[in-house]
Amino acid sequence: MLLVLEPALEEKNIERVVRTLEELGIRAEIVRSSSQVVVFVHSDVRALPTHKFSQIDGVARVIRISSSCPLVTMNTESSIEVAGAKDVRVTIGGGAPPALIAGPCSVEGLEQILELARRVKTAGATMLRGGAFKPRTSPYEFAGLGAEALSYLKEARRLTGLPVVSEVMSCEQVELALESVDILQIGARNMYNYELLKEVGSTNKPILLKRGISATIDEYLHAIEYIMLAGNNQVILCERGIRTFEQRTRNTLDLSAVPLLKSLTGLPVVVDPSHATGKRSLVRPMSRAAIACGADGVMVEVHSTPDKSISDAEQAIDPAELQKIAMDVSHICKSLIAIDEAESGLSCAQPAEVRLVAAASSQSSG
């Protein structure tokens, strides 16, 4: 059961609600988000009438739940605003134009990231991505510059205004990244790292949570729940492909997950075609497909000289290709809006019977 408390309720009154429940022998926990305070009831209260809870002072609404992810399913945040430097603000989701998150797999140096930040912004990117801490399958591969890279990303942010997205892999790295990073990314390998999910959930930063390599949708929802239970409902989901038997691509991009996750959570969903395909030639067509199926943005790996990229060179594109993707995103988005408006106009202009007759006539003539 969830007890949604009244807006602007004083702290002493919030604590009084919990004490009232404890006096009844009911275990409860306060969960805070940016928009509301909720009391999560842990005890089995199925036998108790709803009015016993709705009459407690300070309780605005009582929700009986059967879902194992109650905070995710009751989420009302469909858009997230991200602030960069120079008064730059980017909205993801909620009908806003799709976000274009671009940058290198790994930050390789100060000059590299500053040059690339300028070039991706010119090409149409709305956010800068760059890896400071890199989880690598082999311990002998380049694992990022660490804290040094965070300072470079901070400078790139200052010069371009672009909000910065970067991955953290431990609770210690979260603390290091807070001053330099605008969106904390949790990579596919760490979707099951529940202590890390709790840690980022305790911050006030938006979280970009990638779907695990072999994660089911329900497992993904539970990972989101961990973040929200810690108090942070600013979660951006990222479909980055899942592992299947196919070996021609790095992963299999599950685009059906995009509209499904949006319907289940209401949260913004972006797609990473770079990691999904692992092939430079497939990044642009799959970016198009992502926007066509309703993604709120795409996240791509870009390098000034892709073939010389230290990490994941095969899937990195150059800024010129990024510019083409930016144009694709704009054109597809406009086309979808036009289709929706035309469909809406048809629905308003014609009764259902007329539309059915028109459809039948069209089929018979074909």
2-41 per-residue burial string, b: 16 or more CB within 10 A, e: under 16: bbebbeebeeeebeebbebbeeeebebebbebeebbbbbb
Q: Across the chain, what does the average pLDDT equal? A: 92
How far, in Å, CA of 187 to CA of 112, rounded?
Answer: 23
In this structure, the answer to whether residues 27 and 136 fall within a common structural domain is no
Domain limits for position 209 = 79-337
In this structure, the answer to whether residues 200 and 60 fall within a common structural domain is no
Q: Which of 243-247, 314-318, 352-356 has the lowest mean pLDDT?
A: 352-356
In this structure, the answer to whether residues 37 and 142 fall within a common structural domain is no
What are 25-43's pLDDT values in tens digits?
999 999 887 778 999 998 9
pLDDT tier at 347 (50, 70, 90 boundaries)? low
- Rounded mean pLDDT of 204-214? 97
* Tokens (6 digits) for 270: 């972006």
The percent of residues in the chain predicted with pLDDT above 70, rounded, is 94
More confident residue, 276 or 144: 276
* Number of domains making up the chain: 2
pLDDT tier at 355 (50, 70, 90 boundaries)? very low
pLDDT tier at 128 (50, 70, 90 boundaries)? very high
Judged against a pLDDT cut of 80, whether residue 287 lies above it is answered with yes
DSSP 211: P
Residue 196 lies inside a defined structural domain of this protein: yes
In this structure, the answer to whether residues 33 and 92 fall within a common structural domain is no
Judged against a pLDDT cut of 90, whether residue 78 lies above it is answered with no
pLDDT tier at 356 (50, 70, 90 boundaries)? very low
Judged against a pLDDT cut of 50, whether residue 354 lies above it is answered with no
Judged against a pLDDT cut of 80, whether residue 363 lies above it is answered with no
pLDDT tier at 349 (50, 70, 90 boundaries)? low
Angle at 56 between CA 51 and CA 57, to 5 degrees: 140
How far, in Å, CA of 24 to CA of 149, rounded?
Answer: 53
In this structure, the answer to whether residues 241 and 319 fall within a common structural domain is yes
In this structure, the answer to whether residues 161 and 54 fall within a common structural domain is no
In this structure, the answer to whether residues 39 and 127 fall within a common structural domain is no
What pTM value is reported for the model? 0.83
What pLDDT score was predicted for residue 141? 87
What are 136-163's pLDDT values in tens digits?
888 888 888 999 999 999 999 999 999 9
Please report, to the nearest 10 degrees, the dihedral formed by the alpha carbons of residues 327, 130, 117, 316 taken in order. -50
- Rounded mean pLDDT of 302-320? 96
- Rounded mean pLDDT of 91-108? 96
What are 39-60's pLDDT values in tens digits?
999 898 888 999 999 999 999 9
What pLDDT score was predicted for residue 357? 47
How far, in Å, CA of 346 to CA of 219, rounded?
Answer: 40
CATH number at residue 41: 3.30.70.1140
How far, in Å, CA of 123 to CA of 339, rounded?
Answer: 27
In this structure, the answer to whether residues 15 and 100 fall within a common structural domain is no
In this structure, the answer to whether residues 89 and 46 fall within a common structural domain is no
Residue 294 lies inside a defined structural domain of this protein: yes
How far, in Å, CA of 212 to CA of 192, rounded?
Answer: 8
Residue 105 lies inside a defined structural domain of this protein: yes
CATH number at residue 98: 3.20.20.70
In this structure, the answer to whether residues 167 and 286 fall within a common structural domain is yes
Q: End of a domain among 25, 42, 66?
A: 66
Residue 366 lies inside a defined structural domain of this protein: no
What pLDDT score was predicted for residue 332? 97
